[in-house]
Chains A and B, each alone.
Chain A
């Protein structure tokens, strides 16, 4: 693509509006390409003519002030260009972000500085919650309803479409369809506080059967720990008071303030897209929360011994 060559950067990416992975993003992409390329060409043409008008000898530049130049170049050309761009822009607008029948509903709440995600029940499939990760089936339209719990956030998955503001007390919606399986990244696109830049999420587009398997698993309660080390981790989770802010379905942890951790081990990242998810990063997060994401709504738990921290992190990691 021309724009890729211009940008001199890799245009394929997990978070790139230049690598559309769905129809809406593709329409927006072409609109952007046509506007950018067109505006650039016109800019250079006009600048060229301006330089010509200044530096060419008078007899050669005389045609620039002629009637035809003004009528065709100054009137007809802009009128024709704008008359084509207007309907084109309107058609892009009409065909983008359209709610489709049979769309998969997903509810997302923006919170400082993470994403609460809920999949409502459908037919016999039960509702469940997760966080900081949206998993979607390829080919089926998705209808995301968004709102915010505290301040205004904005939900944006560049590979799939436009942005939508998340406003406290108001539900907005965004509709798109993923056409290519893969891992993408969404971000908060509205400054929402200190850690705004560390408020991202993963978007995993799966084949429909894999999506159904994921969904069935997510709706289940947390698996019982089977190793003594993990049982100890669960005990530390309980005595540490983590359950006052976090839900782990199937245990007594039922706090609704923070992310649902029932299947935290199945997620690709933690801390709203900050770290890959493994025992080491989980332990680091728990011990140094305020160092990693200062001002975040979870205290650092620096007083765990290394061994306890490993048990606790191991327990969380086992929650697949």
Chain B
């Protein structure tokens, strides 16, 4: 794989990787905090479980937003000049996948602010 392809693939997966890490952090933090009965502790006025989910979600969203912006730029420049079909596919997919990742990361964070932390 050329360096260009490797970069394209990584960019395409950036949002999914951020989602996976957010997933890991949320589940890890929730079960650890609830299991150790720290559910009632607070951090900056927010329950620790909610605070960790908020931090994980905001970080993942920021990283994915950057990847999304980056992939949109690639998409626009690919529109502007003639590129191979494979390259076109890669840049289009990257924009789509990163866009979707933004939504699922948001979905993943929502329950923390509706349900009790350790239900």
Contact = CB atoms under 8 A, between A and B. Distances in A.
A167 B103 CA distance: 39
A93 B114 CA distance: 9
Contacts of B114: 87, 90-91, 94
A79 interface: yes
Contacts of A79: 103
B115 interface: yes
Interface residues of B, number: 7
A87 B115 CA distance: 10
Contacts of B115: 90, 93-94
Interface of A: 79, 82-83, 86-87, 90-91, 93-94
Interface in B90-113: 103, 107, 110-111
Contacts of B107: 82-83, 86
B111 A90 contact: yes
Contacts of B111: 90
Interface in B54-107: 103, 107
Nearest to B96: A75
B116 A94 contact: yes
Contacts of A94: 114-116
A90 B103 contact: no
B24 to A, nearest CB: 21
Contacts of B116: 94
A94 B110 CA distance: 13
B50 to A, nearest CB: 14
A86 B103 contact: no
B102 to A, nearest CB: 10
A289 to B, nearest CB: 43
Contacts of A93: 115
17 contacts: A79-B103, A82-B107, A83-B103, A83-B107, A86-B107, A86-B110, A87-B110, A87-B114, A90-B110, A90-B111, A90-B114, A90-B115, A91-B114, A93-B115, A94-B114, A94-B115, A94-B116
A79 B107 CA distance: 10
A94 B113 CA distance: 11
Nearest to B114: A90
A87 B107 CA distance: 9
Contacts of A86: 107, 110
A90 B115 CA distance: 7
Nearest to A90: B114
A94 B107 CA distance: 16
- Of B103, B107, B114, B115, the most chain A CB neighbours within 10 A belong to B114
A90 B108 CA distance: 12
Contacts of A82: 107
Nearest to B103: A79
B116 to A, nearest CB: 7
A249 to B, nearest CB: 40
A233 to B, nearest CB: 51
Nearest to B99: A75
- The 3 A-B pairs with the shortest beta carbon distances in the complex, nearest first, are A90-B114, A94-B115, A90-B111
Contacts of A87: 110, 114
A31 to B, nearest CB: 15
A108 to B, nearest CB: 22
A86 B115 CA distance: 12
B16 to A, nearest CB: 17
Contacts of A90: 110-111, 114-115
B75 to A, nearest CB: 14
